[in-house]
């Protein structure tokens, strides 16, 4: 047989066929036969879960030689789809019926409401990069082309959450992790007015789904009878979509690899945290300080990015995935797990480089606050004054909707 080396995950020159990797392959892509074929390239989904147990370094060797993307990029929260060359949009003509002031007012109001849970005026981390905002508006939106639309929750889950990749062609659309875009659904409301855009967090890092691609991804949940979410979730590959923004100047990452980042989310609140994690992974070889993620869903089927997320190494991301309606595991909400981790979180609350981010449904705020109140007591502090102090120094952020 002897297929070209390029199609093999493992360098057969180095591999001593100890078969450790066979046990570790989560999708049974690694098989052996008398011709010493160690990987079925057609089946291998490049999750690279086989890397850590390889005792001979042969997979590493392959990666250096053949693999254009680093381990960290492969380990992102979504297997990165093929990036195809697609037709570039031919300009950004004005949208019909746009009202720039109404847009600005509505975005400011939405962001202020979303950030209200932090208890006061939101501030960016002191070391955050300077964001670009309001580059595109209703009169002059950016025009993106949908590159892919993938369901993230299982078919049997109640919720339909999607990963949507939007190519920005040659348009200048600089974004930072934690920012949002506006999407204006086509059509008009009952009074005949154009719809105002809804905000969606960007779930890709600043340099794109793959490094140096001019695209963004979104993580969107279909709302029953929701105008915009249904429009976005139904977008097909090749469709045009009008974007406003980018928006948001405070829910941003610190530019500090030593910063301790704690991320607490439910559902699509995971979107900015996917971007944060990928940014950290790409920025430094070792990913900087380990980040912590508390992520709640009803079941694992309904938790966006569940499979890929589990593959992110623990050295980069400490994961607390909790389920409130699962049958086989203890029923937990994020605040329950936070309390189980109270010694660790108490230490982090006392540390000057700790940044806390809460994102998702408004309903999660109460439980998270209550957990922090208890944890703050452990270090002899009043939560509200500590929270206000952290928020003032750009280290406590809430974005809930």
Ligand X SMILES: Cc1cc2nc3c(=O)[nH]c(=O)nc-3n(C[C@H](O)[C@H](O)[C@H](O)COP(=O)(O)OP(=O)(O)OC[C@H]3O[C@@H](n4cnc5c(N)ncnc54)[C@H](O)[C@@H]3O)c2cc1C
Known binding site for NADP(+): residues? Answer: 201, 221, 268, 324-325, 331, 360-361, 399
Choice among 201, 203, 204, 229 that is catalytic: 201
Instruction: Determine if 149 is a binding residue for ligand X (CB under 6 A).
Output: no
Residue 401 sits in the site that holds ligand X (CB under 6 A) = yes
For this structure, is 200 an active site residue?
Answer: yes
Smallest gap from Cβ 55 to ligand X, in A, equals 42
Residue 225 is a binding residue for ligand X (CB under 6 A):
yes
Binder among 147, 179, 184, 219 for ligand X (CB under 6 A): 219
Interaction of residue 274 with ligand X, rule CB under 6 A: no
Q: How far apart are CA 228 and CA 164, in angstroms?
A: 14
Active-site hit among 15, 44, 47, 359: 359
Using H for helix, E for strand and C for coil, what is the string for the chain? CCCCHHHCCCCCCCCCCCCHHHHHCCCCCCCCCCCCCCCCCCCCCCCCCCCCCCCCCHHHHHHHHHCCCCHHHHCCCCCCCCCCCCCCCCCCCCCCCCCHHHHHHHHHHHHHHHHHHHCCCCCCCCCCCCCCCCCECCCCCEEEEEEEEEECCCCCCCCCEEEEEEECCCCCCCCCCCCEEEECCCCECCCCCECCCEEEEECCCCCCCCCCCCEEEEEEECCCCCHHHHHHHCCCCCCEEEEEEEECCCCCCCCCCCCEEEEEEEHHHHHHHHHHHHHHHHHCCCCCCCEEEEEEECCHHHCCCHHHHHHCCCCCEEEEEEECCCCCCCECCHHHHHHHCHHHHHHHHHCCCEEEEEEECHHHHHHHHHHHHHHHHHCCCCHHHHHHHHHHCCCEEEEEC
Is residue 266 close enough to count as binding ligand X by CB under 6 A? no
How near is the Cβ of 15 to ligand X at its closest, in Å? 43
Residue 227 found at the interface with ligand X (CB under 6 A): yes
Residue among 14 and 227 whose Cβ is closer to ligand X = 227
Q: Is 333 a catalytic residue?
A: no
Residue choice 85, 101, 224, 330 for contact with ligand X (CB under 6 A): 224
Closest CA to 162 of 242, 264, 234: 234
116 part of the interface to ligand X, by CB under 6 A: no
Kindly tell me which of 152 and 349 has the beta carbon lying closer to ligand X.
152
- Catalytic residue list contains 150: no
Nearer to ligand X, 74 or 229 (CB): 229
Whether 201 sits among the annotated catalytic residues: the reply is: yes
- 177 belongs to the binding site for ligand X (CB under 6 A): no
- Binding track over 46-65 against ligand X, x by CB under 6 A: --------------------
Distance CA 342, CA 337 (A): 9
Site membership for ligand X, residue 399 (CB under 6 A): yes
The correct pick among 22, 79, 104, 223 for binding ligand X (CB under 6 A) is 223
Residue 200 binds to ligand X (criterion: CB under 6 A): yes
Q: Which of 44, 59, 80, 114 binds ligand X (CB under 6 A)?
A: 114
Question: Which span (84-92, 121-129, 227-235, 303-311) binds ligand X, by CB under 6 A?
Answer: 227-235
Give the residues lining the site for ligand X (CB under 6 A).
110-111, 114, 180, 198-201, 219-221, 223-229, 268, 271, 399, 401
The catalytic residue positions are 200-201, 359, 399, 401
């Amino acid at each position: 047989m002897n297929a070209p080396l390029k199609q093999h995950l493992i360098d057969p020159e180095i591999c001593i066929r100890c078969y450790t990797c066979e046990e570790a392959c989560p999708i049974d892509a690694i098989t052996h036969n008398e011709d010493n074929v160690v990987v079925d390239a057609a089946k291998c989904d490049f999750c690279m879960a086989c890397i850590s147990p390889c005792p001979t370094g042969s997979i590493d060797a392959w990666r250096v030689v053949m693999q254009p993307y680093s381990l960290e990029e492969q380990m992102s929260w979504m297997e990165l789809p093929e990036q195809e060359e697609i037709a570039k949009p031919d300009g950004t003509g004005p949208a019909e019926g746009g009202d720039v002031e109404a847009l600005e007012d509505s975005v400011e109001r939405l962001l202020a409401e979303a950030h209200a849970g932090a208890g006061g005026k939101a501030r960016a981390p002191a070391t955050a990069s300077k964001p670009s905002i309001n580059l595109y508006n209703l009169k002059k939106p950016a025009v993106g082309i949908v590159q892919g639309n993938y369901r993230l929750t299982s078919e049997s889950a109640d919720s339909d959450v999607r990963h949507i990749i939007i190519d920005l062609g040659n348009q200048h659309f600089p974004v930072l992790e934690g920012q949002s875009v506006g999407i204006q659904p086509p059509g008009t409301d009952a009074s005949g007015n154009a719809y105002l855009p809804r905000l969606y967090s960007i779930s890709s890092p600043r340099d794109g789904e793959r490094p140096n691609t001019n695209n963004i991804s979104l993580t969107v949940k279909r709302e029953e009878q929701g105008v915009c979410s249904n429009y976005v979730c139904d977008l097909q590959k090749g469709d045009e979509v009008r974007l406003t923004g980018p928006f948001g100047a405070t829910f941003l990452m610190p530019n500090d690899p030593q910063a301790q980042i704690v991320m607490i989310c439910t559902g699509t609140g995971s979107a900015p945290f996917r971007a944060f994690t990928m940014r950290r992974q790409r920025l430094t070889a070792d990913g900087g300080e380990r980040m912590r993620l508390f992520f709640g869903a009803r079941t694992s089927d309904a938790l966006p990015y569940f499979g890929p997320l589990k593959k992110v190494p623990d050295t980069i991301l400490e994961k607390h995935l909790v389920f409130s309606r699962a049958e086989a595991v203890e029923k937990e909400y994020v605040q329950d797990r936070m309390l189980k981790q109270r010694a660790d979180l108490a230490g982090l609350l006392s540390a000057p480089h700790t940044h806390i981010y809460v994102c998702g449904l408004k309903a999660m705020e109460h439980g998270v606050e209550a957990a922090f109140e208890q944890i703050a007591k452990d270090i002899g502090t009043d939560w509200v004054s500590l929270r206000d102090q952290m928020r003032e120094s750009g280290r406590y952020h809430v974005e809930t909707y």
